[in-house]
Every structure is written in C-alpha cells, then in structure tokens.
Amino acid sequence: MGSALLPSFLRLVSIVSLVGLALAACNPIKREDPRLDFTKILPEELRAQQVERLDTDNDGHLEWVLFYQYDVIEGQTGRRFSPIAAVVYNADVPQGRKEPPVIYPYPLRPPDEDYLGENRCQVRMADAITTNDGPEVVVESIDANGLITDAAIFTWRVDEEAGAGSRGYKCLGFFRTRGQIGISTDLVVVQERTDERSQLAVRRVYRPQNGSYLDEHDQLRPPVESSVEFAFGKPKDVTNSPYPEKIVLAFYKDINTDAVLDYLSQAGRERLVRGKLDTGSPWPRSRIDKALVRELRYVPPIPGSSETGVSVRVSFKSTTGEESEVVELTWVLVREKGLWKMDRSYRPSKPAQESGGGEKK
C-alpha cells in the first residue's frame, strides 16, 4: 500500500515546490540597496528633492549636492512653496593617506540662514567672480514660469591653520525678486516687478567688490545702476499702447535712434528738429549711449481726455563714458489720430507752454 501511494506523494511534493517557487518569484526577498542614496538619510521632517553631482570645491572630484525642503507645508500647493535648503556631501580623505573617505556634510547657507528658493532649485558651476580662484557654486530657484527668482553664489573656503571647523562654503552673493535674475561674469541683473498697470520693473545692476557681492556684514552691496524698464521687454508696437507712461519709457529706451520720432506729436517733432525739445540730456542724441529712467510717475488720464502728463527723473550716459546728473521732467502727451504722442516737456521751475533749452547741437 505504501509503495502504491509513493508516485502520488511525489507529484504532490513537486506541485507544492512549484507553487512555492512561483510565489517566491512574485514576492522576492527585499534587500536594502547598498549604494549611496542621500535622499534616504534625511529625517522625516525634511523632504528630499534631488541630488546633483558637481565638483563644487574644485578638487577634481565630484561632490553630492542634496536639495531638500524643510518647514514642509502639506498639500499640493504647500509643497510647491515650502522653503528649500541644500547641503554638499564631500568625501573627505586625509591628504597623503590611503584610507576610506569620511562623507561630511557642508551646508550652503545664505546670510541670516535664509532659504535658497521655492518650487525647485538648480545648481551649476560658473566663473561668476573673476577675481576669485576657480569657478563658484551658483544656486538658482526657478518659478512656475521658468524665471529665476532667487540666486546665491558660494565658494569653497578652507583655513588650514584654523582646523576643520573653518572649512565650508561661503556665500558671496544672495538675490531675491518677484521678477527675474540674471547672473553672468562679474555681473548680476535683478528686475523687480512693480505693482501697476504698465508691466514695468525696476532694474538693478550689481558688480562684485573685493571678490564678493556682500559687504563685511554679509549684506548686499548697493547696485551700481538702477532704472525703470519694461518687465518683459518693450512691446512690439508700443506706439499703440493705451498707457502714456509706456510711450515715455519707450522714447528714452530709443533716445539715440530715429525711432524717437514715432513717439512724438507733429509739434513735438518740429521742436526736436529746431532743438527746442528738452529731453533732459546735456548732449545731443548722437552723443548719448543710453538713458536711465530712475523714476516714472503718472496719473491715469480721465477717459475721453485729449491731454495728460507723465513725470520722469532721468540721467544719461554719453558715448565717451560721462554720466549726467539726474534731471526731473514732466512730459505733456496729446492724442493724435487716437494715439498718445509726446508733445512737449517742462522742468518743475519752467512753464508748460514752451520747453526751451533742448538738445545742444
């Protein structure tokens, strides 16, 4: 009897074995990934974003730059605006010794421990300040429209005599705006949107001093140049704009070209030809390199009105490098064929009827 059941028993054992193998294939044993993954070492309060590999200290080896969110706001919208920080993990090896490295974290901290950005950040190496040795670490925060709204510049510093505690990344510049930021060699341009109808911005130009955009107190140095600009560029057909202040700004953007004639009334063009149109410049237009509108003031015209005023504070740079004083002017604009045109200008101490003292020939 026992021998008669043996084949059936063996078949049963085989079936059970096959089922076990199939279950094992569907549910493999989970093993921890032994490779370095810095996104998994953070505490629960911090939310990792991404890791980038760059040679951030110019030693010929790639470091790990980990971006993460802190003070996390829950919800889809909250996560988008949670502040972002970054830390560089460096494989430190004692010089001249063949030993396994120590992975050490070096934070990228802006002044006052500010955050680096919101939404998402990117990092790159760039020769941002040419007086320093090697390229700098440039961190930029990009908003939903693809504009850079936060930017920080860091460099690796080490004081061998002061010990390991002095090693780290020093911030050399930190910028934030509601407009956009552009970083190039020895130059940072920041555009700050203004809260008015004309889509204008205040453009500030910064240049480094003594190898940094920050002073000895880690405060941003004043800009070397500031002006009112179109936030996203001059409109294609700005002469058709319903906003007189846009006409005036476009006039000064094109001050050294024949395009200025398009912004003037018939009487304004005649004044320009006769040298009786006061633009504020001490030089003829042929000697003007550019105009800087420092301030622009206006009161929206009453609907149906045929005349309005726009006041500016403006300075000029000549083609030979000279810079004029800031001049205050009020422009009178009139409607011609349904379009706003610049007719005449006057200074605060002069009447509005005639604007003498125009371009010097």
What whole-number distance in Å separates Cα of residue 111 and Cα of residue 219?
8
Give the predicted TM-score (pTM) of the model: 0.81
Percent of residues, the chain, with pLDDT higher than 90: 70
Ramachandran quadrant class, 146 (left: phi over 0; alpha: psi -120 to 50; beta: rest):
left
Q: How open is the CA angle 251-182-214, to the nearest 5 degrees?
A: 110
Tell me the mean pLDDT in the region 170-181: 96
* pLDDT above 60 for 352: no
What is the set of domains in the chain, with CATH numbers? 40-230 (no CATH), 238-346 (3.10.450)
Phi, psi of 199 (to 5 degrees): 55, 50
Whose structure tokens read 């109808």? 197
d(CA 148, CA 295): 25
Q: What is the pLDDT of residues 237-277, one digit of tens each?
A: 999 999 999 999 999 999 999 999 999 999 999 999 999 99
**What is the reported pLDDT for 257?**
95
Backbone angles phi, psi at 40, to 5 degrees: -105, 5
Rounded to whole angstroms, what are the CA distances from 114 to 144, 183, 217, 276? 21, 19, 15, 53
pLDDT: which is higher, 13 or 68: 68
Answer for the pair 42, 84: CB distance below 8 angstroms, yes or no.
no
